[in-house]
A and B are shown apart, each in its own frame.
Chain A
């Protein structure tokens, strides 16, 4: 069984969003995904990290924890914040729902994560934080001999 993992901790700052998605994409790239699959992962990570910064920490001080686990041709990505938490996860995940329309949010982040990854799971505790777990299997993987 071929597994590989990595862990990344970043300050909850918007300038770290591109860094986070690029690091995850670079880590996942060794699975030989198509450019489209790689973009899916980048976009989903960007959504989750941005949510941690904007909603979890209200654009104030905090840390975003990112971890990736590759197991054969599947990647499991976890993005966690220790911020305000989500009161109603069902409602939060509805397309077009946003608690911050004044900030010109479109309410599409969770919908994008759902569409671009194979699965997404959200756990959250008020005042404790939120954990997003996403999974994607790359069909494109060649039978490589490493």
Chain B
């Protein structure tokens, strides 16, 4: 799995490319937390348009970042999910706390400047 970070105002976009499992989750978690801890970030957008596999380990990563940002007054959203991964998300009920958008543009539009 490779990660690409982009900060747009106070929104951090994390583009996940490849397969998110227990093995890749550790490094993904670490890198994202390091970015958040540097400060200046309120919301997190997971761009999943290039992620082709995810199991429950990915759910743990996303819920963990949700808890972290929620305690700082921010939110986590996801975009570009393929149907297979969508089924894992749906089973978990994660959409009750993390909103899903068709694509990155829509997610950014919705979050605004993250003020």
Contacts and interface: CB of A to CB of B under 8 A. Distances in A.
Interface of A: 14-15, 17-18, 36, 39, 42-43, 46-47, 50, 53-54, 95-96, 103-109, 111-112, 115-116
Interface stretch (B39-47, B81-89, B106-114): B81-89
A112 B21 contact: no
Consensus secondary structure, chain B interface:
helix
B91 A104 contact: no
A108 B64 contact: no
CB-CB nearest 5 A-B residue pairs: A14-B23, A106-B59, A104-B60, A108-B56, A104-B64
Interface of B: 19, 21-23, 25-26, 29, 53, 55-57, 59-61, 63-64, 83-84, 87-88, 91-92
Contacts of B22: 14, 17, 50, 53-54
A17 B23 contact: yes
A111 B55 contact: no
Given A17-B22, A36-B83, A50-B55, A43 B88 contact: yes
Given A42-B53, A106-B59, A108-B59, A50 B21 contact: yes
Given A17-B21, A18-B19, A109 B56 contact: yes
